[in-house]
Amino acid sequence: SINKLSEFQVIYIMFQIFRALIYCHNTHHLVHRDIKPENIVVFRKNNAMEDLYDVKLIDFGISKIFNKVEKNNDNRIKGSLNYIAPEVLDGKYNEKCDMWSLGVTLYHIYFGNTPYNTEYDIDSIMDKIYSDNFIYDFSGIPTLDILFKRLLELNPEKRMTHEEFYEYVNRFKFG
């Protein structure tokens, strides 16, 4: 990996972000809408294993209360294009949009860039998002490969749920 984080470290950081999302989604019915590396603060724990961190999700400036029963209708694009879920671009989304952003963030934390392999060109990025045509190579790292593919499922109904994410990463005994 570019930034020398191990598979375990990356999954642990993602799990901590996920715990913050569960709190936002289930307790406050709040969707963050701007999950990206710049909105994650990571501190090394002083009294724990070297691979463990305290992780905080910040910048709730464009977060929004959402309806868990029906998709929200909002035609204003909010968030960072490189991390935004396709359904947010369509203006109809729920908490699953944050799971998409979690997947793009997973990729960025491990590789140091986004999976679109394109310059910051709005049309090119949107084409890549809608086409499900990502450039990535987690070969040899099946744990991250599975997470990435399930979190970046184009259809939000098939995208990894909270329960599936928790069940998948819980085998690492994070909490």
Residues with active-site annotation: 34
Alpha-carbon distance of 39 to 125, in angstroms, equals 20
Looking up tokens 């310059």, which residue turns up? Answer: 119
CB 58 within 8 A of CB 38: no
Determine the 3-state secondary structure of 175 from DSSP.
coil
41 CB-near residues (< 8 Å, 6+ apart): 55, 56, 58
Considering Cα of 62, then 67, then 69, then 75, what sign does the dihedral take? negative
Enter the DSSP assignment of 81. Answer: G
H or E stretch including 4?
Answer: none
Alpha-carbon distance of 71 to 50, in angstroms, equals 41
